[in-house]
Structure 1
Amino acid sequence: MSVVDFARFVDELATQSGQAILPFFRTAFATEDKAKGQAAFDPVTEADRAGEAVMRQLIKRTFPDHGILGEEFGAEDEDAEYVWVLDPIDGTRGFIAGLPLWGTLIGLTRQGVPCYGLMHQPFTGERFFGDGQAAHYRGPHATRRLRTRRKADLAEAIMATTDPRLFGEGSDREAYGRVERAARLARYGTDCYAYSMLAAGQIDLVVEAQLKPYDIVAMIPVIEGAGGIVTTWEGAPAAKGGRIVAAGDRRLHEAALALLNA
């Protein structure tokens, strides 16, 4: 089965998970701290678990030979040819604050390489999806192809990160600071929405750290399909997470890497 054949199924995953998650948004619901006070607040909600459970059930029923890696329920058959990489609510902090800067990430890898991805924001009704060759947006007011913005100069770039505190207080924080000081504008608290806006040509650069595979795998085919680039700070493939830099222009990516590794 080709990657193209998965597009309709991914749409169904997005629809089903959105129906499970959305009733919790801007309501009273239980929240737990996965870090249990040992690190920065890492929330998980009933909505996270409900969304992932629905997707896992549908994947297992439709593709029983596929593997799954999800944020809430871990890994199954990670050595399978195809592995689904799921984050039911990327941006849980925004979700519990009632802010629409969150989304469901549905990624698919083939032999460890991201080959299809979708970000679904069910509250706004938006979907950003791609296969590494092309990327598209579908929302309540438009359907269009996604293309990154060509910006080579950091001084003209809009950049984003989820939270500068996630870089810690050492060399990673200093490296991030060098990039932010060089940029025109920086925005925080955007999670997966920043990568979607990068693919849409609204944001030019995203710099992150401490990412897990389910935080980034789905966005790689979207950004690459829109003409952008996603790597680690060392310039290596980003599918395993870690310290990530994404840019809409390769020249901007090179400039950011130079500062991050100065």
Structure 2
Amino acid sequence: MADAARAAILPHFRSVGLTADNKLAGGFDPVTIADRAAETAMRDVLADLRPDDGILGEEHGSVAGTSGLTWVLDPIDGTRSFISGTPTWGVLIALSDDTGPVMGMIDQPYVGERFMGGLGRCNWAGPGRSDTLGTKSTTDLSQAILFSTFPEIGTDAQRQAFQRVTPTVKLTRYGCDCYAYALLAAGQIDLVIEAGLNAYDIQAPIAVIEAAGGVVTQWDGSPAHDGGTALAAATPELHAAALALLNG
């Protein structure tokens, strides 16, 4: 599925004349021919290999299955980055049952990296390299590196909550889309704090990060696999400290 998505997307990346439609009235939520083509390509693979499974995709909706398993697809997570020519966008693939995601992949087609977690897998592969995944051991917020798409996304109240965390960490960086979650699972950063998510934005990152030893919940500590807010942390201690600040 990831190979099929790469083949559908890469001819369009940084291409002359690439355009985007806007899916959001009163805002900007872009979708391109590459988004739609990649999801179609992944669905074609599933129709051949897993016809009894359900599908939930960002661009082409949901299809009920009979197996109890659902594939949750985001063909391009970070379409804003994609149309801007930055390489941090990725393909998200999750396999979920009624408890949430059990396997996930964060695929970065342009830079050639793949991060997978769940069902006995916890590994990363890139150009000329591969390794197991593992989150950092940071427990003190003052030593943490935080990533987020804020302040662009979120309500005023959510931005205020987020700004209670930022003064307490060592470094805050913005952007990176799904690549931030991959960096957390790979032991490069410590926290990701997000809002305004859908299930297809977060299910693959949840599976990858949990397999690598991290923690992902909503800002109130509840499961995040249906979307909403997300707090991803390298350790339970770091998660608890950030959660307390988010909740005032």
Distance 2:223 2:149 in 1: 20
Q: Deviations over 1:125-149 (max 9, x none)?
A: 1000010655110111211001000
- Structure 2: gaps (5+ residues): none
RMSD: 1.3
Paired residues, what number?
247
Distance 2:211 2:192 in 1: 16
2:29 matches 1:42: yes
Equivalent position amino acid for 1:181 in 2: P
2:54 matches 1:63: no
TM-score, with normalisation over the residues of structure 1? 0.91
CA contact (8 A) 2:53 2:66 kept: no
- Structure 1 moving runs of 4+ over 6 Å: none
Distance 2:176 2:119 in 1: 22
- Identical aligned pairs, as a percentage? 49
Identify the residue that residue 135 of structure 2 maps to in structure 1.
148
Using the TM superposition, name which of 112-121 and 211-220 deviates more.
112-121
| Match among 221, 239, 245 for residue 207 of structure 2 | 221
Distance 1:162 1:134 in 2: 28
Identify the residue that residue 232 of structure 1 maps to in structure 2.
218
CA contact (8 A) 1:136 1:143 kept: yes
- Structure 1: gaps (5+ residues): 1-12
* Pairwise CA distance, 1:189: 1.3
* Pairwise CA distance, 1:163: 2.7
Aligned residue for 1:166, secondary structure, equals coil
Identify the residue that residue 20 of structure 1 maps to in structure 2.
8
| Match among 94, 97, 105 for residue 107 of structure 1 | 94
1:74-113 equivalent positions in 2, closer than 5 A: 74-77=61-64, 80-113=67-100
CA contact (8 A) 1:149 1:249 kept: yes
Distance 2:20 2:100 in 1: 33
Distance 2:239 2:120 in 1: 19
Equivalent position amino acid for 1:43 in 2: P
Identify the residue that residue 168 of structure 2 maps to in structure 1.
182
| Match among 115, 137, 147 for residue 160 of structure 1 | 147
| Match among 189, 197, 201 for residue 203 of structure 1 | 189
Identify the residue that residue 235 of structure 2 maps to in structure 1.
249
* Pairwise CA distance, 1:61: 1.9
Equivalent position amino acid for 1:127 in 2: R
Aligned residue for 1:258, secondary structure, equals helix
TM-score, with normalisation over the residues of structure 2? 0.96
Equivalent position amino acid for 2:140 in 1: D
Distance 2:220 2:65 in 1: 25
Using the TM superposition, name which of 247-256 and 157-166 deviates more.
157-166
Distance 1:78 1:188 in 2: 38
Equivalent position amino acid for 2:235 in 1: D
Distance 1:78 1:181 in 2: 46
